[in-house]
Structure 1
Amino acid sequence: MNFIISKALQGIKELYNEEVAEGVINIQDTRKEFEGQVTIVVFPIVRFSKKSPEQTAIDLGNYLVDQLEEVTAFNVVKGFLNLSIADSYWLNLFNTQLLHPDFGTFKPNGKKVMVEYSSPNTNKPLHLGHVRNNLLGYSVAELLKAVGYEVFKVNLVNDRGIHICKSMLAWQKWGNGETPDTAFLKGDHLVGKYYVIFDKEYKKEIELLKAQGQTEDESKKNAPLIQEAQKMLLDWESGNAEVLALWSRMNGWVYDGFEVTYKNLGVDFDKYYYESNTYLLGKGTVEEGLAKGVFFKKPDGSVWIDLTADGLDQKLVLRADGTSVYITQDLGTAEMKYDDFKMDESIYVVGNEQDYHFKVLFLILEKLGKTWAKGLHHLSYGMVDLPSGKMKSREGTVVDADDLIAEMIETARQKTEVLGKVNDFDEEEKANLYYHIGLGALKYFLLKVEPKKRLLFDPSESIDFQGNTGPFIQYTHARIKSLLKKANYHTDQTAVAVITPTEVDMIMLLSKYPQELEAAAEAYSPATLANYLYEVAKIFNKFYHEVPPIIKEEDSQVQQNRLNLCALAGNVIKSGMRLLGIGVPERM
């Protein structure tokens, strides 16, 4: 609407003899209860007109109707000037821009961005919390790619540490040599099973020691199991061949299991980093920080940074014995990733319990003079709850990602078959449909909520063919494809002169697709795009039910224009849902 802005600026100059900045003209969509499509907020102009908001709006409205053939009428509601825009403007916009093959596409912008997501531990399967992480990371990466960035998707796997040793030790003690093949379990499930067993046996030992008179803290430290696990970690770090072989074998099981889950979720990575290769990084960065005076050494030899002047606290970056803490390796890993990819931006997709950690990490890198530190961003997201409450990995009460995927597909099958619309589908087509509906419901439900918000996930609520759900949008796409197939559709421009108000609303909404992509990418928020696609699906269904059957329309130009609208709505839905990682079936 730049032509309205420029003419409004000209009008203010002519009407009130005032030169004003472009930012004074605030344009919005007209609210549905008022006539018009475009609204100018007049309040900022009053100080130039020296008149009431209503009189200022009337002056400007009359000027725009007189000067612009695209503006056919106006009405004033307090300080809001609502403009009616000619059908010819919308039809020209539709035919020349929206139907162009490049609509909704962006040229490369020459910038590189890394998105790090998933980052699982290798002592347990992926669960519902990981699912939100993976879906967010994948979709943000796809959005950034869509608007012109060169994107690198990376996964930093936490494959070492005491938690890994707990699973390994429990398998040694109680596994009897079982493998994923002999246990008929995915490898990550098998290893997770022994993580739970360790915790149960560890708790028994703690209770026994407490009964013998030790305190809670003493019992936790002195329990034989935890001492054995700590020794195993030391053996791993010293390169013990037997421990390394077991570690490699069990991690291999987990990686095989993860790959199945990633494939079912539809996410991928360009590069994997492993903490076993990065945990010693960062010591050089600490030495650099000491030399620059960014860090200081305490009498016991430990190295710290004082961030109290920045509203934070003092942070340990190297222990007195010279061993790393998490922040140490994160400093080193950040530098290594930049050296590998030379990206302009790097996004860490990590839950909000790590907000403070990332504030500290980014601030330290800035103080170290890393020019690329300004491009670091923590995409913080809220936890996912279920109607049954919180999840706990050690107690085996998590919602396993694989079980959740299977449940979603099964629920999709049951709900779809009740509708009785797949009787002519073969078994392969049915299976494919149930997968797309089930995963579409799961992904859309988790992505339609702003990342920062904690959410309650209800699987049954997510699979609904009405309302703000993935299946509703998928069904709308299938309805469009069915209509176009019956009409033997092909794209062609038309010369219609008049369209219905709902068709105007559709063109307005669809024209916003590129800016919706940019807004979602800039905010790292798939929710922005998800809710826009819901609006597209809603307005298509309103249009579909308001106009007479398109197939039977006798005016070929009107029919073609309406089919063009349907096709564009279908393309926007398919393209947008793909960026959310959601497939849209051709028929349902």
Structure 2
Amino acid sequence: MWKNYIIKILRDVGIVVEEKDIQAAEKPEFGDFSFPVFSLAKQFGRNPFDVAKEIASKIQVSKYPYLLKVEAVNGYVNFFIYWEKAAEVVLRRLLSLKKLDFGKRERVMIEFSQPNPVHSMHIGHARGTFIGDALSRILKFCSYDVIKANYMNDVGLQVAKLVTAYLEWYYNKRPDKKEDYWLWEIYVKFHEEAKKDPTLEQKAREILRKYEIERDENIIKVWNRLVKWCVRGFEKTYKRLKVKFDVWFYEHDFRELGKELVYQALARNIAFRDESGAIIGKLEDYGLPNIVVLRSDATALYFTSDLGLTYHKFENYKLDKAIWVVSSQQSLYLKQLFKFLELLGFKWASNCYHCSFEHVSLPEGKMSSREGKAILLDEVLDRLEKKVKEEVRKRNPNKSERKIVATAKKIASGALKYSILKIQPEDQIIFEWEKMLQLEGKTGPYVQYAYIRCQGILRKVKKFKETYICLSLTEEEKNLLRKLNEFTHVIEKCARELKPYYLANYLYELAVSFNNFYEKVQVVKEKEKEKRDFRLTLVKVCAKVFTLGLNLLGIDVPEFM
């Protein structure tokens, strides 16, 4: 809002700028916002210091009620907001905030999580799951019509290996523990035994052929049963994390449609057959490597199915956009997919987006589910819940065990989600138990506790009159208002750049600002009624922003800690 206010001020004195030209000031002594004039000065061949002074001198501060002063410093025009007056605008806007509307009801499908249905989810799956869930919530808040999708790669060679192992050593047995755990043990056993007996790999390929080409009824029955068990295990983990999907896609449903598109591409010279008989997508002329789109034995690949699924998404759900939340290792693959669909003539191919992130690794290197070298997502949650439960019980001896358990789950889940979401998606995460189990510092519980403090203050006073104006503000109050003012801008930035990490870091900064205000400014004990009511209104707005911001990240707010 205030950037647009400054844009108007500058236009009033003949300077046409855009929002990207206005910067948030780095230090309070430089005001709240700055306009660097270096590019403008270069156009006219003038000294930027002189240009900044000239612009500042033209601005009549008295014409603008929310502007305190303007200064020219080293080629920057610095704008100081009159927070004593601007406070009313900020507080009223946030108290009435229900959603943002720049999404304009565009329909967008976000595909995320996508664990292979052959083993339990490990901590590496957490990143895509948490980013996708948070992004879905943020876009929905911004008035997009969001469809959350999960995609099960249920027909690949990895499932054939699981089926082979089940038929060899576990036939007719049922899970005796959480289904995905049990299946992971079988999957790992296949790879251990395959090192001793290479024929197992060939058996798995034969099982895949029986499933996909021959459509062997017995194989299909076992195959579907194992996938169903694994998905049942996933659903239990998602329930713990409060992650929900609107639709589940299964790869086997889209292989034939994908093959139809491949044969269309072949007929239109977008693809060709190589000497082995495999069909290859012609992408080299577009700066991308060619890609196999159908094997020589007519069995499909993941790419084949993705062609069919993407067509299905846009044509059946009438999407405006589709977003894939998958690791950066899939960047080239998705560029090939999007370009191939574009060559097939689908205009919506330009509305396909990749929300990329780096992997979560162990200190000793990359995780490997087939080798059994991974930290399970449920295991991390279990350990966090145990640790938090002990802390909560110690601090709240009079609370019932039911409330302690429920609270511990909220804090543990929040700690895990925040620890992943606060990291830039471009940065790799090295999983370390000590860091993951941390509850202090830049953590989810730190932000949750700031909310608890807000609620504690509001409970003490019970009633007060919402007051939006204060004639004299402390620096702590101004800093808190500045940070609150950023909230909607940060949400828009998350939505535009597909990066919830901006919101995670903003909430920590808001918690720091609030705690500084809490420690240095009298609220409940303030004797002057108008000032007291204003500060309580500030606290109420902070509580709302913490609640809303954390919910957008998929993190619950506890009643106590």
TM range (shorter): over 0.9
Q: SS of 2:305's equivalent?
A: helix
Q: Secondary structure at the match of 1:273?
A: strand
Choose the corresponding residue for 2:414, options 423, 440, 462.
Answer: 440
C-alpha distance in structure 2 between counterparts of 1:3 and 1:251, whole Å: 56
Distance 1:346 1:75 in 2: 46
The answer (yes or no) to whether the contact 2:476–2:521 under 8 Å persists in 1 is no
Structure 1 partner of 2:159: 164
CA drift at 1:35: 5.1
Q: Is 1:465–1:475's contact at 8 Å kept on the other side of the alignment?
A: no
Partner amino acid, structure 1, of 2:153? N
CA deviation string 1:223-265 (max 9, x = no partner) = 3322332332233232323222222332232122111011112
Counterpart of 1:84, as a letter, is F
Q: Of the two, which has the highest radius of gyration? A: 1
Deviations 1:12-69 (A, max 9, x none): x4xxxxxx43349933223225253232323344358876433433343343335445
User: Is 2:557 the partner of 1:561?
Assistant: no
Q: Give, in angstroms, the shift of residue 300 of structure 1.
A: 5.2
- Quick one: which of 351, 361, 374 aligns to 2:350? 374
Q: Which moved more, 1:115-124 or 1:26-35?
A: 26-35
Match of 2:261 in 1: 285
Structure 1 residue 496 and structure 2 residue 470: aligned? yes
For 2:524, the equivalent position in structure 1 comes to: 551
Q: Aligned pair in 2 of structure 1 residues 459, 563: CA closer, same or farther (>3 Å)?
A: farther
Distance 2:47 2:134 in 1: 48
Contact 1:473 1:573 in 2 (8 A): yes
Structure 1 partner of 2:381: 405
Larger CA deviation: 305-314 vs 268-277: 305-314
Number of equivalences: 557
Query: Could you say if the C-alpha distance between residues 26 and 348 of structure 1 is closer, same or farther in structure 2, counting changes exceeding 3 Å?
Result: closer
Indicate if the aligned counterparts of 1:141 and 1:151 stay in contact, CA closer than 8 A: yes
Q: Return the match for 1:349 from 325, 339, 362.
A: 325
Question: Is 1:30–1:36's contact at 8 Å kept on the other side of the alignment?
Answer: yes
453-462 or 191-200: which moved more?
Answer: 453-462
**1-side partners of 2:209 and 2:51: how far apart?**
78
Distance 1:227 1:271 in 2: 34
Give the Cα separation in 1 of the matches to 2:532 and 2:371: 61
Q: Find out whether 1:336 has 2:336 as its counterpart.
A: no
State the match for 1:509 in structure 2: 483
**Contact 1:462 1:469 (C-alpha < 8 Å) held by counterparts:** no
Listed as ranges, the gaps of 5+ residues in structure 1 are: 14-19, 206-222
Q: Report the residue type matching 1:109 in the other structure.
A: K
Question: Is 1:535 aligned to residue 509 of structure 2?
Answer: yes
For the 8 Å contact 1:478–1:586, the answer to whether it is kept is yes
The alignment's TM-score, normalised by the length of structure 1, stands at: 0.89
Q: How does 1:68-217 map to 2 (within 5 A)?
A: 68-99=64-95, 101-102=96-97, 104-106=99-101, 109-175=104-170, 177-180=172-175, 183=176, 185-205=177-197
The reply to whether residue 253 of structure 1 matches residue 229 of structure 2 is yes
* C-alpha distance in 1 between matches for 2:99 and 2:538: 15
Partner in structure 2 of residue 303 of structure 1:
279
Contact 1:463 1:471 in 2 (8 A): no
Does residue 1:7 correspond to 2:2, yes or no? no
Percent identity for Structure 1 against Structure 2: 31
In the alignment, structure 2 segments of 5+ residues that lack a partner are: none
Task: Specify the alignment match of 1:572 in structure 2.
Answer: 545
> Offset of 1:132 from its aligned partner?
1.2
Q: State the alpha-carbon separation in 2 of the partners of residues 574 and 354 from structure 1.
A: 34
Pairwise CA distance, 1:434: 1.2
Tell me which amino acid in the other structure corresponds to 2:9.
Answer: K
Give the whole-Å Cα distance in 2 for the aligned partners of 1:244 and 1:293: 35
C-alpha distance in 1, partners of 2:63/2:46? 22
1:191 Cα offset (Å): 1.1
- Check if 1:233 corresponds to 2:225: no
**Cα distance in 2 for residues equivalent to 1:555 and 1:50:** 55
CA contact (8 A) 1:87 1:498 kept: no
Partner of 1:208: none
**Could you say which residue in structure 1 is the equivalent of 2:291?**
315
What code does the residue aligned with 1:203 have? Answer: K
Counterpart position of 1:214: none
CA-to-partner distance for each residue in 1:98-129, whole Å, 9 max, x for gaps?
33x23654376131000111222221111111
What's the TM-score once normalised by structure 2's chain length?
A: 0.93
1:494 Cα deviation from its structure 2 partner:
4.3
- Rounded to whole Å, the distance in 1 between the matches of 2:196 and 2:277 is 38
Paired letter, 1:114: M
Quote the RMSD (CA, aligned, Å): 2.3
User: Who is 2:241 aligned against?
Assistant: 265
SS at structure 1 position matched to 2:108: strand
Give the C-alpha shift of residue 327 in structure 1. 1.8
Whether the 8 Å contact between 1:188 and 1:254 is mirrored in structure 2 is yes
